[in-house]
């Protein structure tokens, strides 16, 4: 068996955390490929190394002196290296970084150095081969990730390698320019490596023991999720669940590789398994609840709308012309509602309204702001009668007014729209009816 293991910033924030990671890797000889993030916060008042690098490079870009800031970053790594008892020196690496900062190599390059340096430290500590992600994770000339070329090149590079460390978060374009994924992108790198080596499992180690049914900032000690499918996770991630980067699913999904979310500080916990499909019956009807505030709805009315060919396309064209993406489009016989992010829409609302009138000639348009969307997700809903009824009953008892409901044909999720002010009350009511009452 081959396992790819990725460790987040909190798992590698200090020498003490590095030792925990080393123990975890050495405890299982199948953990052959390691993807590290940059060092995270050592305490709540600390600063992540990635943020230190951004701030340092900002000074360089302005032509200001950044020696002290770069020295502070070097001290973070020196503290880890000394704590691990290594003889490694990163002095030459920091000289190169300083030169490239002065040459204004770009903030993508700057941000990537946290993972790059941590990869060197990790490889030295474990005795594994170090492979620079810029050599094997490739982006095209437009800056888009080139999945197939990367998979081919990475597979060839790792074919005869027994153990290796590949830094997360970044790669390089055709001309060698360093390019990063979005924040949390080390999760994606781990998934890419798992696909390339056809791993049996992709372990993603962080500071929590997997996914929770609901946000612990809203629900006190919510139940954990033992097993979740790729599709369920995609729905929850899209609506704000942030344990794993949502794009990390795609590389392993096509290979059917399961992801296991584990806790570096509690390695005995089983965590959450993310799988393509399962015959395991979920503990509850729902798998999870997630949501976001800050939406608004654009309600379009027009008599006989349902018989007008192209009406929906014309409405959505008005949003496209103004560079606004939509979230959900529930509709009726003579009505169509488009949900959009309020902060993105509010500065262009009148241009959009004007465009809708010009393109679709509606009878009436009404805009409502300060809305929240909540996703109730679960593979168990498909085989359970009355799920929607229970949701509405719970919300009614909590005095929450439902503004919108949208259920996909897969019966995997139900999206509910409520006022921003009712957001937390709605999540608590749904959690109580499906989880607390069942415990």
> Tell me, what's the pLDDT at 438?
59
Which one, of 18, 20, 76, 67, lies nearest residue 48 by Cα?
A: 76
What is the tens place of the pLDDT at every residue in 284-318?
889 999 999 999 999 999 998 888 999 999 999 99
Is 151 a member of any domain? yes
Distance CA 148, CA 28 (A): 30
Is 320 a member of any domain? yes
Neighbours of 213 (CB within 10 A): 24
Is 255 a member of any domain? no
Which one, of 179, 147, 136, 184, lies nearest residue 33 by Cα?
A: 136
Q: What percent of the chain has pLDDT over 90?
A: 77
pLDDT over 80 at 202, yes or no: yes
> Tell me, what's the pLDDT at 382?
79
> Tell me, what's the pLDDT at 33?
98
User: 20 with 142, same domain?
Assistant: yes
Contacts of 103 (CB under 8 A, 6+ apart): none
Q: Is 399 left (phi over 0), alpha (psi -120 to 50) or beta?
A: left
pLDDT over 90 at 331, yes or no: no
Range in 55-59, 93-97, 386-390 with the lowest mean pLDDT: 386-390
Number of domains in the chain: 2
User: 159 with 293, same domain?
Assistant: no
Neighbours of 386 (CB within 10 A): 9
User: 197 with 327, same domain?
Assistant: no
pLDDT over 90 at 265, yes or no: yes
> Tell me, what's the pLDDT at 409?
63
Is 220 a member of any domain? no
Is 272 a member of any domain? no
Last residue of a domain, one of 184, 207, 230: 207
User: 292 with 190, same domain?
Assistant: no
Range in 173-182, 253-262, 324-333, 402-411 with the lowest mean pLDDT: 402-411
- Could you tell me the residue range of the domain that residue 87 belongs to? 3-207
> Tell me, what's the pLDDT at 233?
85
Last residue of a domain, one of 180, 207, 234: 207
**Angle at CA 170, nearest 5°, toward 164 and 174?**
105
Contacts of 294 (CB under 8 A, 6+ apart): 341, 342, 343, 372, 420
Q: Calculate mean pLDDT across residues 115-123.
A: 97
Beta strands in 253-396 (DSSP E): 259-263, 272-275, 288-301, 335-341, 364-377
Last residue of a domain, one of 207, 239, 261: 207
User: 197 with 309, same domain?
Assistant: no
pLDDT over 80 at 101, yes or no: yes
pLDDT over 80 at 432, yes or no: yes
CATH number (domain holding residue 107): 3.40.1160.10
Is 267 a member of any domain? no
User: 193 with 317, same domain?
Assistant: no
Is 257 a member of any domain? no
383 Cα distance to chain centroid: 29
Q: Calculate mean pLDDT across residues 361-367.
A: 95
What's the DSSP call for residue 328? B
Q: Calculate mean pLDDT across residues 252-273.
A: 93
Taking each continuous run of H as one helix and of E as one strand, the counts in the chain are 15, 15
By three-state DSSP, how is residue 227 classified?
Answer: strand
281 pLDDT tier (thresholds 50, 70, 90): confident
Which one, of 122, 94, 161, lies nearest residue 6 by Cα?
A: 122
Indicate the pTM of the whole model.
0.85
pLDDT over 90 at 184, yes or no: no
Is 213 a member of any domain? no
Angle between helices 67-83 and 107-126 (to 10 degrees): 20
> Tell me, what's the pLDDT at 277?
85
User: 26 with 158, same domain?
Assistant: yes
Q: How many CA atoms lie within 13 A of 90 on its CB side?
A: 26
Mean pLDDT, the chain, whole residue set: 92
What is the tens place of the pLDDT at every residue in 42-78?
999 999 999 999 999 999 999 999 999 999 999 999 9
């Amino acid at each position: 068996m081959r396992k790819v293991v990725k460790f987040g910033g909190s798992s590698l924030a200090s020498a003490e955390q590095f030792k925990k990671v080393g123990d975890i890797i050495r405890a299982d000889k199948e953990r052959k490929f390691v993807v590290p993030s940059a060092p995270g916060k050592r305490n709540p008042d600390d600063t992540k190394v990635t943020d230190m690098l951004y701030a340092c490079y900002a000074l360089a870009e302005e032509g200001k002196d950044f020696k002290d800031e770069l020295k502070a970053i070097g001290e973070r790594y020196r503290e880890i290296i000394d704590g691990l008892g290594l003889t490694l020196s990163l002095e030459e690496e920091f000289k190169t970084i300083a030169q490239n900062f002065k040459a204004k190599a770009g903030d993508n390059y700057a941000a990537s150095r946290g993972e790059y340096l941590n990869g060197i430290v990790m490889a030295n500590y474990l005795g594994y081969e170090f492979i620079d992600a810029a050599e094997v994770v490739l982006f095209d000339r437009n800056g888009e990730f080139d999945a197939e070329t990367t998979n081919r090149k990475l597979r060839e590079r790792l074919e005869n390698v027994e153990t290796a460390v590949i830094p997360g978060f970044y790669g390089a374009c055709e001309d060698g320019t360093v390019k990063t994924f979005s924040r949390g992108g080390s999760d994606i790198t781990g998934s890419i490596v798992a696909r390339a080596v056809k791993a049996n499992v992709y372990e993603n180690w962080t500071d929590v023991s997997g996914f929770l049914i609901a946000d612990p900032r809203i629900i006190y000690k919510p139940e954990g999720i033992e097993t979740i499918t790729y599709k369920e996770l995609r729905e929850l991630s899209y609506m704000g669940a942030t344990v794993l980067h949502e794009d990390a699913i795609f590389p392993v999904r096509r290979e059917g590789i399961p992801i296991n979310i584990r806790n570096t500080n509690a390695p005995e916990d089983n965590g959450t398994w993310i799988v393509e499909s399962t015959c395991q019956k979920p503990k509850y009807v729902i798998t999870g609840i997630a949501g976001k505030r800050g939406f608004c709805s654009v309600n379009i009315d027009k008599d006989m709308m349902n018989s007008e060919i192209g009406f929906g396309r014309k409405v959505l064209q008005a949003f496209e012309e103004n560079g606004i993406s939509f979230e959900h489009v529930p509709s009726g016989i003579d009505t169509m509602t488009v949900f959009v992010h309020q902060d993105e829409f509010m500065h262009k609302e009148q241009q959009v309204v004007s465009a809708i009138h010009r393109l679709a000639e509606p009878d009436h348009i009404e805009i409502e702001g300060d809305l929240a969307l909540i996703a109730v997700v679960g593979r168990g809903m498909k085989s359970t009668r009355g799920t929607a009824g229970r949701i509405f009953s719970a919300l009614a008892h909590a005095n929450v007014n439902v503004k919108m409901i949208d259920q996909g044909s897969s019966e995997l999720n139900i999206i509910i729209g409520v006022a921003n002010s009712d957001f937390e009350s709605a999540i608590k009511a749904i959690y109580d009816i499906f989880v607390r009452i069942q415990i």
